Structure 1
Amino acid sequence: MTTDPLVSIVLPVFNESEGIDNTLAVLSNYVRIRPERYELIFVDDGSQDDTVAKIQAAMAKNSAIRLVRFSRNFGHQLAITAGIRYTTGDAVVVMDADLQDPPSVIPAMLDQWQKGFSVVYGKRRHRSGETWFKKVTATTFYRLLAAMTKVDIPVDTGDFRLMDRQVVDILMTMNETDPYVRGMVSWVGFKQTAVLYDRQERTAGESKYPLRKMLNLAMNGLMSFSTAPLALASWLSGIALGISVLIVAISALLGDLALDTWILSSLFFLGSGGFLILGIIGTYIGRLFNQSRQRPLYIVEATYGFAQAKATPQYVQQRARM
Structure 2
Amino acid sequence: MELTPERLVAQLEREPLRPAYLVAGPEPLRVLEAADAVRVAARAQGVAEREVFEQEGRDVDWNALEATFRAPSLFASRRLVEVRLPTTKPGKEGAQVIAGFCADPPADVTLLVTGGEWSRQHGGKWSEAIASVGHVVVAWQVKPHELEGWIEARLRSRKVLADRAAVQQLAERVDGNLLAAAQEVDKLALLAEGQTLDAERMQALVADAARFDVFRLLDAAMNGQAAQAVRMLAGLRAEGEAVPALMGMVVMELARAASLAQVQARGGNVAAEFKAQRIWDARQAGYRRALQRHPAPRWERFVAEAGRVDRIAKGRGRWGQDPTDAWLALERLLVAVADARAGALLAA
Which TM-score applies when normalising by structure 1? 0.28
Larger Rg: 1
**Structure with the bigger percentage of strand:** 1
Higher relative contact order (CA 8 A, sep 6+): 1
**Structure with the bigger percentage of helix:** 2
